[in-house]
Each structure stands twice: as structure tokens, then as C-alpha cells.
Amino acid sequence: MVFLIIFLIFILIIAFSSIKVVKQSEVYIIERLGKFYKIADAGLSIIIPFFDHVRSVVSLKQQTMDIPPQGVITQDNVTITIDTVVFYQITDPAKAVYEIQSLKKGIEYLAITTIRDIVGKMDLDATFSSRDAINDKLRTILDEATDKWGCKIDRVEIKDINPPADIRDAMEKQMNAERNKRALILQAEGERQSAILQAEGQKEAAILQAEADREARIRRAAGEAEAIKKVADAKAREIQMVYAAMKDAAPNDKVVQLKSLEALQEVAKGDANKVFIPFEATAALSSLGTATEIIKDSKK
């Protein structure tokens, strides 16, 4: 009875040792007699006790590695501290186990040396303004170097760049000076733009005023010309009526002279500075002047 119980216990131990349940996103590296045998994927896997054993459990999920902050000297001899994180994923579990002693240590050391090499060729200002370029270059170099380890580097991100305290103070002063400079430039540009707009407004107003004055003079001159034309037309009509009436009445010379004098009298009432006397009226005026002289002599 005791022997049967011991035998059952032995059978259970062997069964427990031979049956392996592999979780999702994991694989088991199985060795047989100290040599790589197979990779057990997710699910139920049977191994031979005392001959096979699990060398390592490898996760196939994407993993993160926080690189400790490292002091790096830039090209302009400024020591800065860079904090970096690496995102990687194992693509070949066998290589990740057998090609390198410690995959994480290898990635960490390789990342540190690569960061120092890249940043050491850049000055301080370029380091702050070229984070994306540093990330891409660092990822490319790490991906090529870790390919033989069965690992793929998905991303590399620089979390923080910390310069020394005196450099930070100098950068803050420089930043404040740049802000003040930009503010003064913007203020001067605004005043310049305002002056330009004001001058253009005054110019447009002067042009519009000149055009308005010109249009007013043109309209005033047109009105005066129209009035003169109407007066001239009225005078012409009066002369034509007088001429027609005299022609119909067939007057003698005395009547013509008298009418001419009346017409001259009406013309003289106008605003013109010059009066043109018809030649026919000069005879009547000379006769009138002679008669006036005779009357004066008889009175004396």
C-alpha cells in the first residue's frame, strides 16, 4: 500500500513536470540534454522529464526600457543630462536568449554610447531644437545593432534634457531678451503700419476732395455756359423778331435809325463791358449830336 502511494506520487510529479501551459504573448525556450530543442508557443506543451527543461520564458509583447540619465558633453563643451526611454520587441526568442548574455543590458549600453556619440557632435542649441532628429538617428542605429539579437527597436524618445544651472540662467536671460526684442519689433512695425495707413488715408481724402472740387467747377462752368447760351438765344430771338417786324413794315431810313437807337439802349443795360454799334446807327448818332449843338447855340 505504501509502495502504491509512492508510485502515484511519482507519477503525478512526472505528469506535472511534463505538462506545460504557455500563456498568450509568451514562448518557452526548451532545451533537451543541454541543447536547444524547440520553442513552445502559447497553449499546452508536453516535454520529457529529466531530458527536457525550460531554459527561459520570453515575452513577445512590446517592452519599454528606461535608460538612466546620462551626462553628455556637447560640441561646445557643455555638460548636459539626457533621460531616454527605448521601446523594443523581441522577434526571435532563440537569438534573444543565445546570442547575448543579457538583452536589456546590451540595449542599455548601446543606447548610452550612441547618445553620447550623436549629441557630442552637436552644440547645445541644436540639441534642444533637434530632438526628433536625435530620436530617429538613435532608433536607426539601435535597430541595426540589435537585429542580430532577434530584437526590433520600435521607438526611442528623449524624455528630458537638463543643462547646468548657470546655463539655464543664461538661456532664460537670452530668452527674455529675445522676447523683449520681438515685442519692440512688433511695436515698431505696428506704428509704421499705422503711419502708412494714416498717410494713405489722408492721400485718398485729398484726392477725393480735389476730384470733388474739380467736378463742382466743371458743373458750375457748365451751368454758366448754359445760362449764357440761353440769354444769347433769347437775344437772338428778339433780334429776329425785330428784324421780321421791320421787314414786314417796310420802314424808311428814319424809322430804322430810331429802332437801332432803341436796340442800343437795351444792349447798354446789359452786364457786358463792350458795346458793338452797328454802322447804320452811327449816322443817326451824328445827326443827333449836330441837332444838339444847334439847340445849344440858339439858346446862347
Which residues lie below 8 Å from residue 241, measured CB to CB, with a gap of 6+? none
Backbone angles phi, psi at 100, to 5 degrees: -145, 150
Mean pLDDT per block of 10 residues along the chain (300 residues) reads: 76 78 88 88 83 87 90 86 92 90 91 90 85 90 91 90 78 78 87 89 88 87 83 73 64 60 58 48 50 49
Task: Answer whether 110's CB lies under 8 Å from 88's CB.
Answer: no
- Our CA dihedral for 112, 115, 121, 122, rounded to 10 degrees, sits at -130
Beta strand 26-32 with 52-59 is: antiparallel
Assign 3-class secondary structure to the chain.
CHHHHHHHHHHHHHHHHHEEEECCCEEEEEEECCEEEEEECCEEEECCCCCEEEEEEEECCCEEEEEEEEEEECCCCCEEEEEEEEEEEECCHHHHHHCCCCHHHHHHHHHHHHHHHHHCCCCHHHHHHCHHHHHHHHHHHHHHHHHHHCEEEEEEEEEEEECCHHHHHHHHHHHHHHHHHHHHHHHHHHHHHHHHHHHHHHHHHHHHHHHHHHHHHHHHHHHHHHHHHHHHHHHHHHHHHHHHHHHHHCCCHHHHHHHHHHHHHHHHCCCCCCCCCCHHHHHHHHHHHHHHHHHHHHHC
Domain-wise residue ranges, the chain: 2-59, 63-163, 180-248, 251-300
- Looking at residue 47, its pLDDT comes to 83
Q: How many residues does the chain have?
A: 300
CATH homologous superfamily for the domain 63-163: Band 7 domain (3.30.479.30)
Residue closest to 87 by CA, chosen among 66, 116, 73: 66
Q: Distance between CA atoms of 114 and 158, rounded to whole angstroms? A: 13
pTM more than 0.75:
no
